[in-house]
Structure 1
Amino acid sequence: MTTPQHKLGSGFDRSSTAAEVLAGVDLSGKLAVVTGGYSGLGLETTRALTNAGAHVVVPARRPETAAEALGGIADVDRLDLGDLNSVDDFTERFLATGRGIDIIINNAGIMACPETRVGPGWEAQFATNHLGHHALVNRLLPALNDNARVVAVSSAGHRRSPIRWDDVQFTNGYDKWEAYGQAKTANVLFAVGLDARARDRGIRAFSLHPGGILTPLQRHLPTEEMVALGWIDEDGKPIGDGFKTPEQGAATQVWAATSPQLDGMGGVYLEDCEIAEVASLDEPFTGGVSPYAIDPDQADRLWALSAELTGVDAFAE
C-alpha cells in the first residue's frame, strides 16, 4: 500500500506546546468548532485558538459546566454526541446563523467506560467517539469554507483493535479497551474517508494521536488500574516522562488545524506535530499508525456503515 504517511520535518516534537505551534499564526476572522473544548485537551485547544485570534464554538453535553470552565472565551452550545437528535438540533441552530466554519476539531470522547448503550443500543464509545462526530461533520458540511480542515482526535489506542466487522456493537461480550481501540481506529478511518470525499471541495481531514496526557478522559479508570498500568504511583503522581502536559497534548491538534506545512495534504495520521510513519504489526509498538487504520477500503466500508446507522451522508448521490 502506497501512503503519504511519512515524516515531513515539521521542526516541532513531542515537547512542543500549542502556543509554540501557533506562534506567529493569525487566525483572526476564522471560526473553529471544538467538541469537548472545555476540558482537558479541548480546553487547551480552545485557549490556544482564541489566543491566536479565532472565534471558537464549543458544543458540549453540559453547557453550563462548559461556560463556567471557559469563562467567556468561546461560545457554548448544547450537544450530546451520543444522541443523534441532539446532533440534529445543534447543527440546525448553527446552520441557521449563516456562519462559515474554517476548523472542526472532533476532540470530545470517552475512554474505557463500563458497558453502556446509547441510542438504538449502540456501544457508547463507538457511538460517541465516532458515529456522533460522523453525523456532526456531515450535517455541518454546507457551512465549511474553502480550505477548511476537519481534525479527528484519535489515539495510539487504535492499536488495540481494528473495526470488528462481525460485532461492531459488542453484542457478544464487552471489553472496554477493545471497544476503545475500535472507536479510535474509527476516528482515523473517518478522516481517511472524509478527505477522499471532500478534498475536491477544498476541505481536508486529518487524524492524530495527541500523546499520553492525564486528563478527565481517565474518569472511568480506578486508581488501582492506572497504578497497575504503570501510569501513576500510589500517590497519583505520573511515573516517568511518558506523559505530556495538556499544553503539549493540544499541540498536534492545533498544528493539524492550522499549519501551512500541511497545505495540499490530508487523510494522514499525525503524532508529536508530525506525520506519523506506518507501524509494523509484527514488531513492538513504538508509535505510528496501524495499516488497517489508514486502509481506504476499510474507510469506505466504515463510511457506508456509519451512513446506514446514522442516516447521514452529505456525499450520497
Structure 2
Amino acid sequence: MTTAQHKIGSGFGATSTASEVLDGVNLTGKLAVVTGGYSGIGLETTRALVAAGAHVVVPARRRASAEEALAGVGGVEIDELDLADLDSVRAFAGRFIASGRGIDLFIGSAGIMAAPETRIGPGWEAQFATNHLGHFALVNRLWPAFAPGARIVSVSSRGHFFSGIRWDDPQFERGYDKWEAYGQAKTADILFTVRLDHLARARGVRAFALHPGRILTNLVRHLTNDELVARGMLDENGALTGETKDTGQGAATQVWAATSPQLDGMGGVYLEDCDIAEPAPADGTMTGVCGYAVDSAAAARLWALSAELTGVDAFA
C-alpha cells in the first residue's frame, strides 16, 4: 500500500531531539550503518543510536577524524568508505557482506552542499555523484545484508526545491550552478527512496527521505558568512537565527525515521520535523515536498539511470 504524503500527528516537532524521539525505544541487538556518522548530525545520530542499545557501523572517508570524533563512544566500529569512489563503495560493501551480519537500520547522512564545480570518476558532477550515486551503489551492494523489516533512510533537504532532475544534462556539462546541482542531488535522494521502497517492501524493508532542518555544521564549509546570512542561517551580526536547529534537533527526524513504531507499515514518503511532510503549497513556500520529488515515474527513471551509471542494480 502506498503511504499518503500527509502528516500523521507524531507528537514530535521541530524542536524535538534525537534522544527524545528514542525515549522508550530499545535497539539492543540491532545493527545500524550510518554514513557521515562522525560529523554534525551524523555524529549526533550515532551517539543517540548507541545510547538506545544499537551497534553502529560508521564508514568514513576520513578514518582518523572519525576515530577522534567517536573516541569513548562504545558500540561503534569504523571502516573506510569514500562515496565518491565506486571502488571504495564496492570494497566496503564486500567486507561487510563477508562478515555475515544483517543490517536493521541504514541512514545515509553523509553529503556535500553548494560545492564549487568538481568532477569525479568519469566526469560526474560531485554533488550528484557523492550525495546520490554513491549511496545508490552502496545500498544496492549491501542489499543481501538487509534484514526483513529493515529501514533505509536518505537524508535529503529542503534544497530539493532548487531543482528537479536535469534529465538532459544531469552532470551539468552545459554550465554549472552550485545550488541547482545541490537541489538536483537532494531531489535524487528523495526519488531514490520512493523507488527503493517500491522494490524493497516485498521483503518488509521500507525507505524514507527527509529534511533535517537548518543546522550549522561542517556541511556549510563551502559558504561564506554573507551567503549564510542570505540563506537565513546567520543574522547580520553573525549569530544563529531562530530558524536554525542544533545538532540534537537536526538528527531527530532521521532517527525517528529509522526507528519509530509510528512508521510501521509505511514508507516511500518524505519527512520533516519528525512527521510525514505535506505536499508543497501552490504559493511557492518552501515547506513540504515538491511533486516532482515523489513522482513514481521519475523515481523509476532515475533508478534506471543510476543503475546504468554505477553498473549495479540489486533488483535487476
TM range (shorter): over 0.9
Instruction: Provide closer, same or farther for how the CA distance between residues 3 and 34 of structure 1 changes in structure 2, counting only shifts above 3 A.
Output: closer
Whole-angstrom distance in 2 between the partners of 1:196 and 1:29: 27
Q: Report whether the alignment pairs 1:26 with 2:26.
A: yes
Matches within 5 A, 1:225-236: 225-236=227-238
**Partner Cα distance (1:306, 1:8) in 2:** 32
The match for 2:181 is: 179
Residue aligning to 2:142: 140
Within the candidate set 118, 124, 127, 1:122 is matched to: 124
Alpha carbons 2:232, 2:243 under 8 Å: kept: no
Q: What does 1:146-295 correspond to in 2, within 5 Å?
A: 146-239=148-241, 241-280=242-281, 282-295=282-295
Structure 1 stretches (4+) deviating beyond 2 angstroms?
Answer: 227-231, 233-236
Deviation at 1:245, TM superposition (A): 0.8
Q: 2:85 aligns with which of 67, 77, 83?
A: 83
How far off its partner does 1:227 sit? Answer: 2.4
Q: Kindly provide the CA deviation profile for residues 22-41 of structure 1, in whole angstroms up to 9, marking residues without a partner as x.
A: 00110000000000000000
* Equivalent-residue separation in structure 1 for 2:274 and 2:229 (angstroms): 29
Distance 1:222 1:113 in 2: 12
| Structure 1 position 305 matched with structure 2 position 308 | no
Shift of 1:223: 1.5
2:95 maps to: 93
How many aligned positions are there? 313
Secondary structure (helix, strand or coil) at the match of 1:138 reads: helix
Residues 261-288 of structure 1: CA distance to partner in whole angstroms, max 9, x if unpaired?
10000000000000001113x4131410
In the TM superposition, what is the alpha-carbon distance from 1:160 to its structure 2 partner? 0.4
Secondary structure, aligned partner of 1:220: coil
Give the structure 2 partner of residue 6 of structure 1: 6
Structure 2 residues not aligned, in runs of 5+: none
Cα distance change on mapping 1:265 and 1:3 into 2, 3 Å = closer
Counterpart AA for 1:307:
A
* Corresponding residue of 1:15: 15
* Counterparts in 2 of 1:55 and 1:279: CA distance versus 1, 3 Å: same
Which deviations, in whole Å up to 9, do the C-alpha atoms of 1:248-306 show, x marking residues without a partner? 010000000000110000000000000001113x4131410000000000000000000
Aligned counterparts of 1:96 and 1:183: Cα–Cα separation in 2: 31
How far the C-alpha of 1:3 sits from its partner, in A, is: 6.2
Contact (CA 8 Å) 2:3, 2:268: kept in 1 or not?
Answer: no
Amino acid at match of 1:64: A
Match of 1:44 in 2: 44
How far is the alpha carbon of 1:229 from its aligned partner?
3.0
- Is residue 63 of structure 2 the alignment partner of residue 63 of structure 1? yes
Paired residue secondary structure (2:147): strand
**How far, CA to CA, are the matches of 2:79 and 2:102 in structure 1?**
16
TM-score when normalising by structure 1: 0.97
Higher deviation after alignment, 163-172 or 219-228? 219-228
The code of the aligned residue for 2:264 comes to D
Rounded to whole Å, the distance in 2 between the matches of 1:41 and 1:288 is: 21
Distance in 2 (CA, whole Å) between partners of 1:243 and 1:251 is: 14
1:167 counterpart SS class: coil
Distance 1:247 1:162 in 2: 29
Distance 1:59 1:124 in 2: 19
Measure the CA separation in 1 of the matches of 2:290 and 2:315: 27
State the Cα RMSD in Å. 1.1
TM-score, length of structure 2 as denominator length: 0.97
After superposition, where does 1:102-117 map in structure 2 within 5 Å? 102-117=104-119
1:236 to partner: Cα distance: 2.8
* Deviation by residue 1:52-108 (Cα, 9 ceiling, x = unmatched): 000000001001110110114211110000000000010011111101100000000
- Aligned-pair identity in percent equals 69
